[in-house]
Amino acid sequence: MNAPVSPTGLLIIDKPERITSMHVCRIIRGKLVGGGAPKRVKVGHAGTLDPLATGVMVILVGKATKLCDALMAGEKRYTADIDLSATSSTDDLEGRITPLDNLSPPSADTVAHTCARFTGVIQQRPPAHSAIWVDGKRAYKIARAADMGRGPELTLPARPVTIHNITILNYHWPTLRLDIRCGKGTYIRSLARDLGAAMNVGGMLVALRRTSVVPFTIDSAVPPAALPETLAQHDLLDPAPYLAPR
């Protein structure tokens, strides 16, 4: 009896809120196995989205997992809602939220000027509650232990990231909505925190939607619930056009 052949290709998923990126991968793996793929079929993704974030996830199957680095290196685009009246221990709604009083709401001109300062190559400190590896452990595990008094607080060093453009979609105190085009490794949570700090107000990400992982956009993305019960080779995008020439 021949062993099942592992499929290879891509799926462009619109990740829903409240599930992890790895949970999306498990859903896809289950559907592939149901369609005849080996139980250990490789399934990965080209860039994590936090549980509260939604939008484009590029799922890589089989030999297409080799495309991970190339796709992650491309430009990402996000729509972000920022609350400038509060801060959070995780820089988003999942942490300990601290409302701030007696703030002076920045003017629209100040907001525009500040956003412009955060474009180009900037130094950005990732959130302590992130998936970055620190001495063989995920940063969020160290941060959670610190939150419970079982270790020192974690402060990650700043590192260079590229933000190509920030467009203000709407500003009505205390909510700021931005369209952001950025490069690999950019944390929008950190950008929310740092924009607020630069204006002497709060800065907490309250909603995030990834609208593009170049060359894929939200228009071509499918929610996991809309996928067929089983997946096979014919359901996947051909990865060949996205392979770098040898």
Residues 195 and 214: their CA atoms lie apart, in Å, by: 25
Neighbours of 100 (CB within 10 A): 17
Closest CA to 235 of 226, 244, 66, 243: 226
- Cβ neighbors of 57 (< 8 A, separation 6 or more) are 12, 13, 14, 15, 21, 24, 45, 46, 47, 49, 210, 213, 221
Residues annotated as catalytic (active site), given as ranges:
50
Q: Kind and range of the H or E element at 213?
A: strand 204-213
In 3D space, the residue among 135, 129, 43 whose CA is nearest the CA of residue 90 turns out to be 129
